[in-house]
Structure 1
Amino acid sequence: MSEAPVPWFDVPEAEGLWEGDLVEAEVAGERVLVVHHVDGSFAAYQGVCPHQDFPLAYGKWDEEEGTLTCSGHGWEFDLGSGAGVNPSGCRLYRYPVRATDAGAVRIGIPQDGEAHHHRCREM
């Protein structure tokens, strides 16, 4: 049985986003963090920390290292992969993302009635 196709949604907040910057957006009812890496690629992750749902957009973003530290309790994530750096056993939910030559950014949000974010207890 094949999975239903994932619909794509425009993210106007991410249009014109500078390389090395990030922005939070609400996309199809999901809180999403969009990252424009210094290499020009885009990534999109859950917008809240898996620890206690603190908004990740308020965290300390080190664009050169590619890491984001949550300002809530200092959890750190690799925004190239979504993997937890500290603690290492946790990860961010990653959404598919497309950027067009015209500068539009689109996020794929599954329409399955589920919340699309990971939760992790204290490690």
Structure 2
Amino acid sequence: MNLFRTSAAVLALTTGLLALPAHAEVVQENVSGDPMYTANAPAGYRMVGDILIARPMLLAATVIGTGLFIISLPFSALGGNVGEAAQELVVVPAKETFVRCLGCAVSGYRAD
């Protein structure tokens, strides 16, 4: 009986959490009428997901990319593309980790 109650509780909580983003999108309104307001103001569930899932993964990608850059440095130096390797392996993940706003899908920083 205890296994049944535990399974039912887990199923109910999982279903509720999966329905939360759909419900949050319906409730959110653009009061100002400005389309940039909704683009620059992410919902709370996106912020929570960003801080709990995306940022730790991006930090790990930055650390792993830095290690790979150090390992590949002699080869990229011989090939003459140290700048490109540093940009793609270290700088891009670091910018997404530390510069992008919390919950935003696109970084506000442009390297044009």
Q: TM-score, normalised by structure 2?
A: 0.25
Q: Greater Rg, structure 1 or structure 2?
A: 2
Give the number of the structure whose residues are more often strand, by fraction.
Answer: 1
Give the number of the structure whose residues are more often helix, by fraction.
Answer: 2
